[in-house]
Amino acid sequence: MSISEDKSDTRQRLEQAMAAVAEQRDTAAFAELFDFFAPRLKAYFLRQGEDHGQAEELSQEAMLTVWRRAETFDASQASVSTWVFTVARNKRIDALRKSSRPLPDMEDPALAPDGPESAEAILARAEEEDMVQAAIKKLPPEQLDVVRKAYFEFKAHSTIAEETTLPLGTIKSRLRLALVRLRKELDEELI
């Protein structure tokens, strides 16, 4: 048997193992993939400058991803080896990004919790809420319904259109008109 025939047999065996993992979650097939790729991945990570512990950890994380994402492998797009090494490369990139991220400075004033809210702030917020509620109540019923669904029930515009059997453009127009009306009403209140 020549070297090229041996490589062809190995490639075919790996593709069959990957298919078994993807389709049936075959642990024996995954063990075969692991036995073949884990040492090669570790050597790859060592060549990339990782220490032995990190290389081992990245190899295991890459193989775990192979197990979890085997169904996304497409033999028409790449060979098993190419796919596995792409997964490994991405794991290394993720690890590099994570390690180069600075830790937050816990002494930073921006991270300090806000103090208790003052009585004036609580009163002002309550007055604003009352003004907004009063302005909302003045909206025409068709605009009020759309505003309620969009901003209080957090529904998407397309969902509102389906529920009301109105065109999406009508929903958007009603929301825009309602917001213009609310802004005008609130501006008059604040003057």
Q: How many domains are contained in the chain?
A: 2
Shared-domain flag, residues 29 and 95 = yes
Shared-domain flag, residues 56 and 28 = yes
pTM: 0.52
Domain that holds residue 185: 119-190
Looking at residue 108, what DSSP letter applies? -
Over residues 19-54, the pLDDT tens digits come to 999 999 999 999 999 999 999 999 999 999 999 999
Q: 27-53: buried (b, 16+ CB within 10 Å) or exposed (e) per residue? A: eebbebbbebbbeebbebbeeeebeee
The reply to whether 114 falls in a domain is no
pLDDT exceeds 60 at position 158: yes
- The confidence score (pLDDT) of residue 4 equals 52
Query: How many whole angstroms separate alpha carbon 160 and alpha carbon 149?
Result: 7
Query: How many whole angstroms separate alpha carbon 130 and alpha carbon 189?
Result: 11
Over residues 107-116, the pLDDT tens digits come to 777 777 777 8
Where is the domain boundary, 65, 100, 135? 100
Report the CATH number at residue 54: 1.10.1740.10
Shared-domain flag, residues 133 and 82 = no
Where is the domain boundary, 70, 100, 130? 100
